[in-house]
Amino acid sequence: MIFYIMNIPETEIYDTTLRDGSQGEGIKFSVEDKLAIARKLDDFGVQYIEGGWPGSNPSDVEFFTRARKLRFKNAALAAFGSTRKKETRVEDDKQVQALVDAETPVVTIFGKTWLLHVTEVLGTTPEENLAMIRDTVRFLKERGKFVIYDAEHAFDGYKDGAEYAMRTFLAAQNAGADLIVLCDTNGGTMPDEVSTITRIVSGFLKVKVGIHTHDDMGVAVGNALAAVKSGAIHVQGTVNGYGERTGNCNLITLIPCLQIKMGKKCVPPESIVRLTELSRFVDNVANISHNPRQPVVGDGAFAHKGGVHLDAVRKVPKSYEHISPEVVGNSRKVLMSDLSGKANVLLKAAELGVEIKPDAPELGEIVRRIKDLEHDGYEFEAADGSLQLLLMKGVGKYAQPFCISGYHVSIRRKGTSFDTSNKVCDASVEVSHDPQSLHTVAKGDGPINALDNALRKALVVLYPGIERVHLVDYKVRILNGGSGSASTTRVLITFIDGVKQWTTVGADESIVEASLTALRDGYEYWLLCV
């Protein structure tokens, strides 16, 4: 079998999300999940996709069986496993045979570099470990496989005994390995050590060298970049840094570092703009909340709150942005808070479609209003719905669609039992919109639910289409908790109408008042802005 990389890069990307990534806490992929991610990775343009360990579990066996029907246009599928067992003929090792049976063009095997593992973990001799490496690589090469040898604990092994570590690398090379990958398996090696050892090993070996890093000290990406600068041409990692313990090298961070910052092609140029999409796709499949602080692709990667920063970004974006967010498929985010200045308001208003001129006399009053409300407990950073209404009021483009002239909420308990089934929550609301005036009553699972039901009951009469609007999230946070029961309560409510989603905020010493403010804003936003 002759193996070709279809998009020849300067640095190869080897994705192990489906195997090493799935070993992270809280990560569980079904076979369908793995197939979907594999297709996405191939479309993105990585060179290798490690599908799993076919000898370890039935799910991986099924994955490789079904993956044979996939036609990758950019990537080669790799099966992962280990060297043969000690004191066992490679031909008799079922795990090695399973690697062949997976029918992938690439097979990646790991073997021991560190004498500590050879003698204390494997319980064998240094010579037998070398034979295990040689026999397995040769067996796979004789069956037409492109063989990648992952040198487990390469850096710890080299530091503990450089001569033996080199002998293990030579054993793999001389048996025909196509690529030798230095693995920082424990994730504790520092970038200067990775750089030095990679330079020595890549200069010593004739075969190409790769790098596999873990993030236990927070330097997995830095270590991978250090290795690339020192001779490695192949990097292994996972989407979003999934992996055991604190994770693996995050390919979502690594790829733009290589391609944008270092000028080393690793994926098709047209794929970079889909980096944020890839990151969020895999998070969604894994049912993991997207990390807003993730470099490059996080919601906060290009978020600006400080007025000085935003004023500069408005004039010259590169003054506070190292790259344009659109390059990686992300977008700039303007945050509103008590730190906001006129630049924040102007940019955010433009984002929300509210026209405010830089010399508008009302601009200063809007800024002051935002700062006062933030001081009182409001948080507009996560509540664009309420913010847009505030901006519209500030420039005289707000027409009140209804008025809440009164409300009442009660909780009654039948009998003396504290069984919640004995609890009854009622709410009444007085709503008016000339010439109509309505008084509605409703029950609910709690006081806020009852209040919402009563308000909706009135609004449906005035605006029948509002039936499409539903609450999908309700968050409560107690501020200045030292004030006890008089503490300010902040409420954030998220609404959806089947197409659009928006969030509103309310703050008050009363959770009912705070909730009613957020509810009112939520329905007003839909009536005025959607």
pLDDT bin (cut points 50, 70, 90) of residue 416 is low
Q: For 500-524, what is the mean pLDDT? A: 96
What string of DSSP letters covers 227-239? HHHTT--EEEEBG
Structure tokens at 525: 């936003």
pLDDT bin (cut points 50, 70, 90) of residue 228 is very high
pLDDT of residue 208: 97
Cα–Cα distance between 499 and 519 in angstroms, integer?
Answer: 19
Structure tokens at 14: 């080897």
pLDDT of residue 168: 98
- pLDDT above 80: residue 307: no
pLDDT, one tens digit per residue, over 280-306 is 999 999 988 889 999 999 988 988 877
Cα–Cα distance between 31 and 183 in angstroms, integer?
Answer: 27
pLDDT bin (cut points 50, 70, 90) of residue 96 is very high
Structure tokens at 323: 């790259």
Q: Which of 495, 510, 380 is nearest to 448 (CA)?
A: 510
pLDDT of residue 419: 60
Q: For 414-441, what is the mean pLDDT? A: 83
pLDDT of residue 325: 92
Sign of CA dihedral 406, 440, 509, 352: negative
- pLDDT above 80: residue 262: yes
pLDDT of residue 341: 80
Cα–Cα distance between 436 and 414 in angstroms, integer?
Answer: 36
Q: For 332-336, what is the mean pLDDT? A: 79
Q: pLDDT higher for 6 or 414?
A: 414
Give me the architecture of the 402-462 domain, per CATH.
2-Layer Sandwich (3.30)
Q: For 51-58, what is the mean pLDDT? A: 87
Count of H helices and E strands in the chain? 17, 16
Cα–Cα distance between 213 and 109 in angstroms, integer?
Answer: 16
CATH 3.30.160 occupies which residues in the chain? 402-462
> Which residue's structure tokens are 């909340």?
289
Q: For 113-120, what is the mean pLDDT? A: 96
Q: For residue 508, count other CB atoms closer than 10 A to its CB.
A: 18
Question: Does the global pTM surpass 0.85?
Answer: no
pLDDT of residue 486: 65
Which helix (DSSP H) or strand (DSSP E) does residue 508 occupy? strand 501-508
pLDDT, one tens digit per residue, over 171-222 is 999 999 999 999 999 999 999 999 999 999 999 999 999 999 999 999 999 9
Percent of the chain exceeding pLDDT 90 equals: 81
Fold of 12-286: TIM Barrel (3.20.20)
Q: For 460-472, what is the mean pLDDT? A: 95
Lowest mean pLDDT among 241-245, 261-265, 433-437: 433-437
Mean pLDDT of the chain: 92
Q: For 496-505, what is the mean pLDDT? A: 94
Q: Report which residue type is found at 130.
A: L
Q: Which of 43, 34, 40 is nearest to 64 (CA)?
A: 34
What string of DSSP letters covers 396-451? T------EEEEEEEEEEE-SS---GGGEEEEEEEEEEETTEEEEEEEEESSHHHHH
pLDDT of residue 7: 64
